[in-house]
A and B are shown apart, each in its own frame.
Chain A
Amino acid sequence: DSGVTQTPKHLITATGQRVTLRCSPRSGDLSVYWYQQSLDQGLQFLIQYYNGEERAKGNILERFSAQQFPDLHSELNLSSLELGDSALYFCASSGGGAYQETQYFGPGTRLLVL
């Protein structure tokens, strides 16, 4: 158990809908990262937050957004969903965000868009 929690574990929804994925980092970790894992794109970085502030953006679509709350939990919002958004979404956390720090991953949310 990495100490990172993600809910829900599975999500099935329809095209055009909006969903919210939730992540709680390990106790004491200030940085939260979101990754998407799909068969065709592999593991891709979406976005990073540090202590409530957006720190870095990767290949995140404009239809996707995220935020980190004062209690450090984070949410990833996916809207106008398309079939291609079906993927495993991971949240990871690390202490301060330094490059040497290990990122610990949550169990992931498996999203299926029908």
Chain B
Amino acid sequence: AQKITQTQPGMFVQEKEAVTLDCTYDTSDQSYGLFWYKQPSSGEMIFLIYQGSYDEQNATEGRYSLNFQKARKSANLVISASQLGDSAMYFCAMREKAPWANNLFFGTGTRLTVIP
């Protein structure tokens, strides 16, 4: 089974509007971290936001917030007040505590296009 599923290959949003990018995950580990990264067309991977499995509050970082629903195993990224510079690929990733799973597992990504 896929550890991270991003079901939206592409999304469009009007400038200044909010957008939600979906992410569901699969793990039997109780301790894990969820991450979102942004990859602009230039190629670099930019860290956006982190949510720990024991965090009771949803993470926020400026215009980014993470809608964490543990029982549903979802960790959706919400971008408020979209800007043209937000156009990029967005990847959801998970890392489990288990010592044999020391790496990030990435989803297939969502390409966000912000329309002026």
Contacts and interface: CB of A to CB of B under 8 A. Distances in A.
Contact of A105 (B45, B97, B102, B103): B45
Contact of B35 (A2, A48, A102, A110): A102
Contacts of B106: 42-43
A110 B44 CA distance: 11
A48 B101 CA distance: 11
B91 interface: yes
14 contacts: A48-B103, A55-B102, A56-B102, A90-B45, A92-B45, A99-B31, A99-B32, A99-B96, A99-B102, A100-B52, A102-B50, A103-B47, A105-B46, A108-B44
Interface residues of A, number: 24
B43 A97 contact: no
A70 B55 CA distance: 36
B4 to A, nearest CB: 10
B-side interface size class: 20 to 34
A42 B108 contact: yes
A105 B44 CA distance: 7
A84 interface: no
Nearest to A107: B44
Contacts of B32: 99
B101 to A, nearest CB: 8
Secondary structure dominating the interface of A? strand
A56 B106 CA distance: 17
A113 B116 CA distance: 38
Given A48-B102, A58-B103, A99 B97 contact: yes
Closest 6 CB pairs of A and B: A45-B103, A56-B102, A105-B45, A43-B106, A99-B97, A99-B95
Contacts of B96: 99
Contacts of B43: 88, 107-108, 110
Contacts of B103: 33, 35, 45, 48, 56, 58
Nearest to B91: A43
